[in-house]
Chain A
């Protein structure tokens, strides 16, 4: 078991002194090498789930386990990526990719070698000495993925990494990510608003309710080409899965 949530509830103190429950009694498991997406209405606690997995804050009740170990704080098993690329603008791309390795006692030469390897895997060869502002949005997200992969995490957490990109770049990047991640054999948790994206990239999809978020459905995506969303895209079943998600999220009722 790569990741497990056991009846996790998280409440935040509000500024007015009250309490606000972001997620309530969330339980799920993710197997090693699995790609799982989380969809749900805005504000239902998706990012909160990600932050707890990364150990940035603790659940109020329940337990989060990564590789059978309870998560007590930031740990070396988890790498995360957000919609913002979070590249350090004052560092070159290669040095950005090395960033996560610096606090791990890896020698300078090894860091460079590992970073170069990931840079190539993410198709950024030749850009190692560029600065982030010289790259396009899509390239920057690839650099952020390279940085995430460089620390060789057991789990990759993705919080809407493609949502700021235009439709074409998005499609190409989804494809590149899917390939790279499946080649590396990484367990992945993807948070997304894009229902099609969830279907195209995942083995399994968790649907969360309105806040306080809780898992209301779990859909297994039984389609080939998980490592190539561009191929999966043309399968007729894709729209059926999306329609199913649509129904769970009650989007029609909301639109009415």
Chain B
């Protein structure tokens, strides 16, 4: 008897659970870096942003060694706003996509910069952004 009640009421409680608020024009997006792979990440507590740096093989090589990038090197820095994780107090997670920047090395040591999407959270010249992006080091995984 007790157990039946226990069960019934549990079922009732669970059906009464709240659903996530409807967000039909919003999506859970995953950035698609194409041929590039993950190289490094960062977190800026002042700007409340998180970034991921993607690149091709030669980007990985030049950032690991701190060399000038060879022609054909491509890097993309993708920056997001972060928030408290809605499911766990004490954890943060990336939210809105803020910007996508691309750095590309051409022949004769030339380096091109492009803001593909969004806006920068702090004004900076192209040269500053190139220097900043090229200071990333690949993450360590055994």
Do A and B associate with each other? no
Q: What is the interface of chain A, defined by CB distance below 8 A to chain B?
A: none
Q: What is the interface of chain B, defined by CB distance below 8 A to chain A?
A: none
